[in-house]
Structure 1
Amino acid sequence: MKDILKSDAKFRYMMLGRFQRDCEYYLNFGNRNSNVLWSLDEGKHIENMKALHNSFEENDKPEWLTWEQILEYEKLMLIVEPRSTAIE
């Protein structure tokens, strides 16, 4: 990830878009399987998205992906499903 953060803005925009598409697939058609994420881990994936988003100057941040949207992905992807405590 360090090398990506050192890349030019165009490449970082492309990677952020890739990460966003990974989130959408994970949440919709990917059956919440972390193997569909570039980072292979939900927490790390969100952490990487935040780092990419923060790598842009304030006036260069993407309009198509806000900080609030990243936080929403984080909330949706890091939900821990409650386990049944009933004995079957």
Structure 2
Amino acid sequence: MKNDLEIHFTAKPINKEDSFKYQLLDRLRIDCEYYLGYGNRNVNHLWANNKKEQIEKMKELYNSFPDNEKPEWLTYEQILQYERLMINS
């Protein structure tokens, strides 16, 4: 049996540190959604236990990625929207 199958990867693999940052950023995003919904705006449901620190950490993580590696599932504008909804309202 001849094996002619070749696999070519077009994207570079994500290193462990970046993988952790993506996971943490998504966790923070999910916490914000819960806080604004079923969490009844209870800061104990936030990873940072503080609205401002939660948003600042999200900005820090988001900005740590180069433009071509920023998550497709979250934009900086969405982070600013969370900030408006959680802190400025």
TM-score relative to the length of structure 1:
0.81
In angstroms, what is the RMSD of aligned CA positions? Answer: 1.0
Between Structure 1 and Structure 2, whose CA radius of gyration is higher? Answer: 2
Instruction: Give the C-alpha shift of residue 25 in structure 1.
Output: 0.2
Instruction: Give the C-alpha shift of residue 33 in structure 1.
Output: 0.4
In structure 1, the partner of 2:66 is: 57
How many residues of Structure 1 are paired with residues of Structure 2 in the alignment?
74
TM-score relative to the length of structure 2:
0.80
1:23 and 2:32 aligned: yes
Residue by residue over 1:60-84, the C-alpha shift from the partner in whole angstroms, topping out at 9 and shown as x without a partner, is 000100000000000000134xxxx
Residue by residue over 1:33-63, the C-alpha shift from the partner in whole angstroms, topping out at 9 and shown as x without a partner, is 0000000000000000000001101100001
Sequence identity percentage: 54
Alignment of 1:1-88 (within 5 A): 8-80=17-89
Cα distance in 1 for partners of 2:69, 2:25 equals 13
Cα distance in 2 for partners of 1:13, 1:44 equals 18
Cα distance in 1 for partners of 2:87, 2:38 equals 17
| Structure 1 segments of 4+ aligned residues over 3 angstroms from their partners | none
Structure 1: gaps (5+ residues): 1-6, 81-88
